[in-house]
Copies of this chain bind each other. A is one copy, B any other.
């Protein structure tokens, strides 16, 4: 048989793992520097926890795991409790599924986080700041850049509505991107209540959902497309005129805040309708906190009134990052939610979080050639194996290199030098060390730098000093 892996999954070989770990490392260090602590939840979750949390489509995309043992019979002790019958089978998957599968694979990191918070509410310290870097699984149709198994990197804090969290999310986003060497990016920020205020400013036609759904597609279908869609949903000329006037407000972060406030007043959204004001106030406080931090990257921050982040559970500030000059969707997104744990019986816990998409970041770094060259290799030095005698004689050299923390290996077989050098070359090992009987007698080694081809004869102590750096 010719072995294969399932569609939409990937093997990550050594070079790719090293580069992915480079990205994970920068994200992890940033999260930890801001006081987020690591959490890991199981791959398998009960379907009762997962189902109904991701919408109808999400339920379809859950990977379901067969009950173990005789999955056609559900047993408790010796008593068969339920059994799949031929009638069930004829009735279709909806009838059969609950009887044969009770577990599913993690679909995202947010629902397991909410489940964890509710299960451990008695012992957790709130506000609870956690980050989580783990794979998730979706039975989506695989296509370029979309996988059935992929990692998410989430950071969330629950149990506080302090806008300090939002300001720090902007800081963390910048720190990760700067750390990866990405300099051309836009952090889009908006607020769900600003969107609500816009809806109210239009005069109450149509529905809020119709409005958000249409605005969210502005990038894809353009102003004409949005206009057509909204007209079909009952929005009139007057409302559409006001809408595009509001969406067209320009200026810096601060200027946009002022201009929108004025526009809302003109449109009759008064302070009594607190939605719009609360949204703008929140964003102003985020701006103030960032200024307090001495934040110097306001030019990367775009108050984007058209940002809607789908129809998900967000209720406050929302975020999204776009890498400029790269043809790719957002590499990060997030926002504030007020009822994450409500589905599990713990209402009223406010939180805010965001997530990085590692596959997209990886592709960006590759396209922009931003991976450091030493992110791809582990071994620093290969020792050549001349013959059985030298194999034993060179072991103290190998030991000293490793004791100095230099990842090193001795080619495990005496053999052609060409093959050994090829091994170093293909594995990306930067240095090859040779010690034949002559060098051994003289108490020196020969060091070849693979990139330049330069060969030097020198004492081992100097090699150790050089490679330790």
A interface residues with partner B (beta carbon < 8 Å): 1-6, 9-14, 17-18, 21, 32-46, 48-49, 60-61, 63-66, 68-72, 84-86, 89-90, 92-93, 96-97, 100-103, 105, 115-116, 118-120, 125, 127, 129-130, 135, 137, 139, 148-149, 157, 160, 162, 164-165, 288-289, 292-294, 344-345, 377-379, 382, 391-393, 395-396, 398-399, 402, 405-410, 412-413, 422-423, 426-427
Contact = CB atoms under 8 A, between A and B. Distances in A.
B39 A3 contact: no
Nearest to A111: B3
Contacts of A2: 344-345
A1 B289 contact: no
A138 to B, nearest CB: 9
A42 B378 contact: no
Contact of A127 (B162, B398, B412): B412
Contacts of A43: 9, 43, 105, 135, 137, 149
A33 B405 contact: yes
A105 B115 CA distance: 23
A456 B34 CA distance: 24
Nearest to A101: B66
Contact of A86 (B71, B89, B407): B89
B32 A378 contact: yes
A33 B66 contact: no
Nearest to A37: B14
When all copies of this chain in the complex are counted, the total is 2
8 contacts: A1-B48, A2-B345, A5-B115, A12-B41, A35-B408, A125-B422, A125-B423, A292-B396
A17 B3 contact: no
A215 to B, nearest CB: 31
Given A5-B45, A33-B407, A43-B149, 9 more contacts: A5-B115, A34-B402, A65-B105, A66-B100, A66-B101, A72-B92, A127-B423, A160-B413, A294-B395
Nearest to A10: B42
B40 A17 contact: yes
Contacts of A127: 412-413, 423
Most buried by B among A9, A11, A97, A101: A11
A263 to B, nearest CB: 28
Contacts of A71: 64, 93, 97
Given A120-B13, A165-B412, A399 B38 contact: no
A206 to B, nearest CB: 35
Contact of A38 (B38, B162, B378): B378
Contact of A407 (B13, B21, B35, B63): B35
Given A5-B42, A13-B120, A34 B409 contact: yes
A68 B345 CA distance: 30
Contacts of A3: 46, 48-49, 115, 118-119, 344
Nearest to A392: B292
Contact of A409 (B35, B89, B413): B35
Contact of A21 (B38, B105, B115): B38
A378 B413 contact: no
Contact of A4 (B46, B68, B426, B427): B46
A40 B135 CA distance: 12
A195 to B, nearest CB: 25
Contacts of A64: 65-66, 71
A39 B66 contact: no
A392 B288 CA distance: 8
Contacts of A32: 378-379, 407
Contacts of A100: 66
Given A6-B103, A42-B149, A293-B395, A402 B33 contact: yes
A91 B210 CA distance: 51
Nearest to A167: B395
A66 B96 CA distance: 12
